[in-house]
């Protein structure tokens, strides 16, 4: 598990990269990426390129991010999902809450 993040130079978008297993052990690191920002970015990109697995507490973390980013007004994209991860997101119908591609 590893979480890294990077802000676009203009501060408009926060890119969060998840590697390995995305589960409860990433909880603290994942929240830290956005809770310690000086100002809230307009949008978020969660890159799953190197994520191998995602469990229900990870779904919970995505919901927390969504809540932080403004709930229904939030702008969060989840990208580069492997078929397994995509399936878990689909079972929970998370495409209703996030832009997934």
Partner 1 sequence: MLTVLVADDTSTDRMILESLVRQLGYITVPASNGLEAIAFYQQYQPDIVLMDVLMPEMDGLEAARSIKKLAGENFVPILFLTSLSDTESLVACLDAGGDDFIPKPYNKPILQAKINAFGRMRELQTTLLQQRDQIRLNNNTLLQEQAVAKKVFDNVAGKGCLDDPNIRFHLSSQAIFNGDVLVAAHRPNGNLMLLLGDFTGHGLPAAIGSMPLATAFYGMVSKGFSLQDILREINHKLKTLLPPGIFCCASLLEVDYQVQQVKVWNGGLPSGVLYRGVSGEVELLSSQSLPLGIMGNDRLNSQCRYFDISATDRIYLWTDGIHEARSFDGEMFGEARLLEVFRHGSDVKANQIFDRILEAVHEHVGSDVFDDDLSLVEISLASPPEPTDDQDVGARGDQGLIEWSMSFEIKPPTFLHFDPLPLLMTVISDVPGLRGKSAQVYTVLAELYSNALEHGLLQLDSSLKNDAEGFAEYYRLRKRRLEQLTEGFIRFTLAHSVNGDEGVLRLTLEDSGEGFDHHNKLRETGEKDFSGRGIALVTTLCASLTYEGNGNIVKAVFTWKD
- Interface residue list for partner 1 (CB under 8 A): 24, 55-57, 59-61, 63-64, 66-67, 90-94, 96-97
CB 61 within 8 A of CB 77: no
What is the distance between the alpha carbons of residues 19 and 47, in angstroms, rounded to a whole number? 9
29 sits in which H/E element: helix 27-35
Which lies closer to partner 1 via its Cβ, residue 10 or residue 91? 91
Which lies closer to partner 1 via its Cβ, residue 82 or residue 94? 94
* Closest separation in Å from C-beta 67 to partner 1: 4
């Amino acid at each position: 598990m590893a979480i890294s993040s990077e802000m676009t130079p203009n501060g408009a978008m926060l890119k969060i990269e998840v590697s390995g297993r995305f589960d409860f052990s990433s909880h603290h690191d994942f929240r830290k990426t956005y809770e310690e920002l000086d100002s809230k970015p307009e949008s978020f990109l969660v890159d799953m390129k190197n994520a191998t697995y995602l469990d229900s507490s990870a779904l919970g973390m995505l919901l927390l991010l969504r809540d932080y980013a403004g709930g229904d007004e939030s702008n969060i994209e989840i990208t580069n999902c492997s078929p397994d991860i995509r399936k878990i997101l689909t079972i929970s119908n998370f495409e209703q809450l996030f832009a997934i591609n």
